[in-house]
Amino acid sequence: MTITVTPCSESFVAEIGDIDLRKPLDRDTVDALSDAIDTYGVLIFHDQHIDDQQQQAFSRNFGDLETTVRAYRKDFVPRLDVHMADISNLDDQNRVLPKNDRRRLNALGNRLWHSDSSFKRVPARFSLLSARVVPAEGGETQFADMRAAWDALPDSMKRRVEGMICEHTQIFSRGKIGFTDWAPEELEKMAPVPQLLVRTHPGSGRKSLFLSSHAGRIQGMEEPEARLLLMDLSEHATQPKFVHTHSWRAGDLTMWDNRCTMHRAREYDETKVRDLHRTTVSDGVPTVLEQAA
């Protein structure tokens, strides 16, 4: 089986065709997909009506899966398996969450530009998001090209930020939208973790900004100054020329490289069901231990 790779632009986002993600893939196909994601950062597959087991099997071609953070609160009943992140507006009985539900308010954090699991010492390498039910309008996912954003920075800014270490926690990202409803046992698990601000993407050798809504401090810098620099860099990196918008159809699967992209969810009518399931391939090592370029 030879897959087709149709780029949306020279080096960002490609659509993959002639592939059935329900079936095991041979080595050549996995290698071709690995090459494609190294080059394009985001891959889009259409008409893939897969279940959670098939999604996990496909994802494991690219590394070990993260397990979702759960049991933060004793009353929380997960809807999905421990290897699936529940990107939906549903409770464990598949009912739409009420407007004031804490899970919904927390999940609104996905509307901020971020890189998955950057609040973990070992963040995510790839995320794979499968659309099971989508609303007729809205609820798009946007992706921003952080290698192109790096390339476009003035040399003086490149010199200034290279080597900087940021601190990331969900307390920072949720705090930006005024979500502060954490239990003491949650806060304990949410201590900030260090992340490089500039990374070299191994598969392409290109440098990339590593930004995320979870970033809130830069080591050795006063906090207001650090926050402003992070805001300026994010504003730069999410200009329309670096952004691709994906409008979902049920059966779509997108796969992105969190080392060199950011993403965010867009608004939709939340009385309608939006049900997406995510698997996440872990990156293996903390960014601060990555090989210096």
Return residues touching ligand OGA (CB under 6 A). 87, 110, 116, 127, 129, 141, 263, 265, 276, 278
Q: How many positions of this chain bind Mn ion (CB under 5 A)? A: 1
Which partner in ligand OGA, Mn ion, none is near 87 (CB below 5 to 8 A by kind)? ligand OGA
Q: How far is the CB of 116 from Mn ion (least distance, A)?
A: 4
d(CA 62, CA 31): 10
Q: Which is nearer to ligand OGA, 126 or 150 (CB)?
A: 126
Q: How far is the CB of 262 from ligand OGA (least distance, A)?
A: 10
Binding of residue 116 to Mn ion (CB under 5 A): yes
Q: Which residues contact 213 (CB under 8 A, 6 or more apart)?
A: 109, 112, 113, 114, 172, 173, 176
Q: Which is nearer to ligand OGA, 4 or 245 (CB)?
A: 245
Q: How far is the CB of 55 from ligand OGA (least distance, A)?
A: 13
d(CA 212, CA 137): 26
Task: Give me the amino acid identity at 64.
Answer: D
d(CA 144, CA 10): 14
What residue spans of 116-222 are helical by DSSP H? 146-151, 155-161, 170-176, 184-189
What residue spans of 177-285 are helical by DSSP H? 184-189, 223-237
Q: How far is the CB of 109 from ligand OGA (least distance, A)?
A: 9
Which partner in Mn ion, ligand OGA, none is near 198 (CB below 5 to 8 A by kind)? none
Q: Which is nearer to ligand OGA, 141 or 238 (CB)?
A: 141
Q: How far is the CB of 60 from ligand OGA (least distance, A)?
A: 18
Work out the burial of residue 227: count CB atoms within 10 Å of its CB; fewer than 13 is exposed, 13-18 middle, 19 or more buried: middle
d(CA 211, CA 169): 12
Place of tokens 């080597």: 163
Q: What angle do CA 117, 216, 263 make, to 5 degrees?
A: 45
Q: How far is the CB of 144 from Mn ion (least distance, A)?
A: 12
Q: Which is nearer to Mn ion, 116 or 145 (CB)?
A: 116
- Closest residue to ligand OGA: CB criterion: 265
Enumerate binding residues for Mn ion (CB under 5 A).
Answer: 116
